Amino acid sequence: MTTDKIITIIEKISAKIQEEKLFLTELDNVIGDGDHGINLARGFSEVEKKLSTMGDKNPGEVLKTVGMTLVSTVGGASGPLYGTGFMKMGMELKDTADVTVEDFVRVFQVAIEGISLRGKSTTGEKTMLDSMVPAKNAMEEALAAGKSPKEAVACGVAAAKEGIEYTKTIAATKGRASYLGDRSIGHQDPGATSFTMMLEILEGEL
Amino acid sequence: MTTDKIITIIEKISAKIQEEKLFLTELDNVIGDGDHGINLARGFSEVEKKLSTMGDKNPGEVLKTVGMTLVSTVGGASGPLYGTGFMKMGMELKDTADVTVEDFVRVFQVAIEGISLRGKSTTGEKTMLDSMVPAKNAMEEALAAGKSPKEAVACGVAAAKEGIEYTKTIAATKGRASYLGDRSIGHQDPGATSFTMMLEILEGEL
Amino acid sequence: MKKFINAVDQVENEMIQGMVKAFPQYVKKLDCGNVVVRTQKKEGKVALISGGGSGHEPAHGGYVGRGMLDAAVAGAVFTSPTPDQVYEGIKAIATDAGVLMVIKNYTGDVMNFEMAGEMAEAEGIKVAQVVVNDDVAVQDSTWTVGRRGVAGTVFVHKIAGALAETGAGLEDVQAMAQRVINNVRTMGAAISPCTIPAAGKPGFEIADDEMEVGIGIHGEPGTYKEKMMSADAITDIILDKILGDLDYTGSEVAVMVNSSGATPQMELFIINNHVADVLATKGIKVYKTFVGEYMTSIEMEGMSISLLKLDDDMKKLLDAQADTPAFKQL
Amino acid sequence: MKKFINAVDQVENEMIQGMVKAFPQYVKKLDCGNVVVRTQKKEGKVALISGGGSGHEPAHGGYVGRGMLDAAVAGAVFTSPTPDQVYEGIKAIATDAGVLMVIKNYTGDVMNFEMAGEMAEAEGIKVAQVVVNDDVAVQDSTWTVGRRGVAGTVFVHKIAGALAETGAGLEDVQAMAQRVINNVRTMGAAISPCTIPAAGKPGFEIADDEMEVGIGIHGEPGTYKEKMMSADAITDIILDKILGDLDYTGSEVAVMVNSSGATPQMELFIINNHVADVLATKGIKVYKTFVGEYMTSIEMEGMSISLLKLDDDMKKLLDAQADTPAFKQL
Ligand SMILES: Nc1ncnc2c1ncn2[C@@H]1O[C@H](COP(=O)(O)OP(=O)(O)O)[C@@H](O)[C@H]1O
Ligand SMILES: Nc1ncnc2c1ncn2[C@@H]1O[C@H](COP(=O)(O)OP(=O)(O)O)[C@@H](O)[C@H]1O
Ligand SMILES: [Mg+2]
Ligand SMILES: [Mg+2]
Ligand SMILES: [Mg+2]
Ligand SMILES: [Mg+2]
Cβ contact (<8 Å) for D196 and A174?
Answer: no
| Domain shared by D103 and D233, yes or no | no
| Pairwise CA distance, residues C44 & C166, whole Å | 10
Residues with CB under 6 A from ligand 1: A 28, 32-33, 35-36, 39, 76-78, 81, 115, 119, 121, 127-129, 174-176, 189-192; D 79-80, 107-108
Q: Mean pLDDT of all residues in chain B?
A: 95
Contact of C111 with B77, CB cutoff 8 Å: yes
Which residue in B45, B179, B184 has the most chain C C-beta atoms within 10 A of its own C-beta, making it the best mutation to test that interface? B179
**What does the pLDDT read at residue C35?**
98
Residue C2 belongs to some domain of the structure: no
C70 neighbors C98 (Cβ within 8 angstroms) = no
Q: Please state, in angstroms and rounded to a whole number, the distance separating the CA atoms of residues C186 and C148.
A: 10
Task: Check whether residue C137 and residue C254 sit in a common domain.
Answer: no
Model confidence at D219: pLDDT above 90: no
Best to test chain A binding among D107, D150, D212, D223 (most A CBs inside 10 Å): D107
DSSP-assigned letters across all residues of C120-152: HHHTT--EEEEEE--BTTSPP-TTS--PPP-TT
Same-domain pairing of D137 and D232: no
| For residue D144, pLDDT beyond 90 | no
Q: Which residues contact C230 (CB under 8 A, 6 or more apart)?
A: D5, D6, D7
From residue B18, alpha-carbon distances to A25, B12, B79, B80 in Å are 51, 10, 16, 19
Torsion of CA C238, C244, C249, C255, to 10 degrees: -30
Number of domains in chain A: 1
User: What pLDDT is attached to residue C142?
Assistant: 64
What is the B28 CA–ligand 4 centroid distance (Å)? 6
Residue that finishes a domain, picked among D139, D173, D207: D173
Q: What distance in Å separates the CA atoms of residue C326 and residue D328, rounded to the nearest whole number?
A: 10
Take atom 9 of ligand 1 and give the residue whose Cα is closest: A175
Please give the Cα distance from A59 to C21 (Å, whole number): 66
Touching B (3+ Cβ pairs <8 A), the chains are C
Return the residue whose CA atom lies nearest to atom 12 of ligand 1: A78
Q: E strand or H helix at C16, and its extent?
A: helix C11-22
D33-67 pLDDT tens trace: 899 999 999 999 999 999 999 999 999 999 999 99
Residues whose beta carbons lie less than 5 angstroms from ion ligand 4: B 28, 32-33, 35-36
Give pLDDT, residue A56: 93
Angle between helices B3-31 and B190-205 (to 10 degrees): 160
Domain of residue D203, CATH code = 3.30.1180.20
Domain contains C115: yes
pLDDT at site B33 = 86
| D169 lies in the same domain as D127 | yes
Mean pLDDT (chain D) is 96
Residue C145, pLDDT score: 78
Q: Whose CA is nearest to atom 16 of ligand 2?
A: B36
Comparing CB atoms, the residue among A74, A175, A180 nearest residue D223 is A180
Who has greater pLDDT, D139 or B127? B127
Q: How far is the CA of C293 from the centre of ligand 6 (A)?
A: 27
Whether C157 is a known active-site residue: answer no
Reported as a single tens digit per residue, the pLDDT across D7-40 is: 999 999 999 999 999 999 999 999 988 999 999 9
Q: Which residue of C has its CA nearest to D5?
A: C231
Is residue C324 included in any domain, yes or no? no
**D4·C267 Cβ contact <8 A:** yes
Question: Would you give the distance in Å from CA C235 to the centre of its chain?
Answer: 20
Whether D278 and D157 map to the same domain: the answer is: no
Number of domains in chain D: 2
Tell me the CA–centroid distance for residue B103 and ligand 2, in Å: 26
* Most C-contacting residue of B18, B26, B28, B35 (CB-CB within 10 A), to test interface: B35
- pLDDT at position B60 is 96
Q: Is residue D88 part of a domain?
A: yes
Q: Is residue C210 part of a domain?
A: yes
- Nearest-CA residue for atom 23 of ligand 1: A76
The whole-number pLDDT of residue A104 equals 97
Given the DSSP bridges, would you call strands D184-192 and D301-310 parallel, antiparallel or unpaired? antiparallel
Give B33's Cβ-side CA count (13 Å radius).
Answer: 29
Which domain range does residue C292 map to? 184-318
Quick check: is D160 in a domain?
Answer: yes
pLDDT in tens, B28-60: 989 988 889 999 999 999 999 999 999 999 999
Q: What is the CATH number of the domain that holds A52?
A: 1.25.40.340
Q: Is the pLDDT of residue D139 over 80?
A: no
Probe target for ligand 2 pocket from B35, B125, B128, with the most ligand atoms within 8 Å of CB? B128
Nearest CA in chain D to A37: D199
For residue D262, the 8-state DSSP code is S
In chain C, whose CA is at the least distance from the CA of D261?
A: C264
* Interface touch D299/C262, C-beta < 8 Å: yes
Please identify, by atom number, the ligand 2 atom nearest to the C-alpha of residue B28: 17
Using alpha carbons, list the distances in angstroms from residue B161 to B108, B155, D247.
17, 10, 67
User: Which amino acid belongs to residue D175?
Assistant: A
- The rounded distance, in Å, linking the Cα atoms of A29 and A36 is 9
Q: In D, which residues are within 8 Å of A179 by CB distance? A: 135, 137-138, 148, 216, 220, 223
pLDDT for res D142: 63
Put simply, the answer to whether C329 touches D329 (Cβ < 8 Å) is no
Q: How many CB atoms lie within 10 A of CB A94?
A: 11
Strand partners, D38: D27
Q: What is the pLDDT of residue B196?
A: 98
DSSP string, B85-126: HHHHHHHHHTT-SS--HHHHHHHHHHHHHHHHHHHT--TTSS
- Surface of D (243-262) touching C: CB under 8 A: 255, 257, 261-262
Contact A119 D107 (CB under 8 A): yes
pLDDT value of residue A33? 86
Residues of D in contact with C231 (CB under 8 A): 3-6, 14
Comparing CA positions, the residue from D208, C75, C221, C59 lying closest to residue B38 is: C75
Domain that holds residue A101: 3-205
- CA D301 to centroid of chain Cα atoms: 17
User: Looking at the structure, do residues C167 and C188 belong to the same domain, yes or no?
Assistant: no
pLDDT at residue D170, as a whole number: 98
pLDDT of C212 reads 95
Closest chain D residue by Cα to residue A32: D220
Residue nearest to atom 7 of ligand 2 (CA): B175
Same domain, C126 and C203: no
- Same domain flag for C57 and C91: yes
Q: Which residues of chain D have a CB within 8 Å of the CB of A181?
A: 138-139, 223
| A52: enclosing H helix or E strand | none
Q: Which pLDDT score, from 0 to 100, does residue C141 have?
A: 66
* Ligand 5 ion: nearby residues, β-carbon < 5 Å: B 33, 35, 76; C 78-79
Q: What are phi and psi of D128, to 5 degrees?
A: -130, 165
pLDDT of res. A179:
85
Residue D327 located in a structural domain? no
For chain D, give the percent of residues with pLDDT over 70.
99
Of C21, C255, C298, the CB nearest to D276: C21
Last residue of a domain, one of D173, D203, D227: D173
List pLDDT tens digits, range D73-119: 999 999 999 999 999 999 999 999 999 999 999 999 999 999 999 99
The reply to whether the predicted model has a pTM over 0.90 is yes
Supply the pLDDT for residue C220: 82
Q: Which amino acid is at D63?
A: Y
* D199 shares a domain with D165: no
The number of residues in chain A equals 206
* Distance between Cα B75 and ligand 5 center (Å): 8
In chain A, which stretches have pLDDT less than 70?
none
Are D199 and D83 in a shared domain? no
Successive 10-residue mean pLDDT values, chain C, 330 residues: 96 98 98 95 96 97 98 95 96 98 95 95 96 90 81 98 98 98 98 93 92 92 92 98 97 98 98 98 98 98 98 98 98
D112 and D217 belong to one structural domain:
no
Rounded to an integer, what distance in angstroms lies between the CA atom of residue C178 and that of residue C165? Answer: 17
Query: Is the CB of B81 inside a 6 Å radius of any atom of ligand 2?
Result: yes
* D131 in the same domain as D239: no
Under 8 Å between Cβ of D254 and D149: no
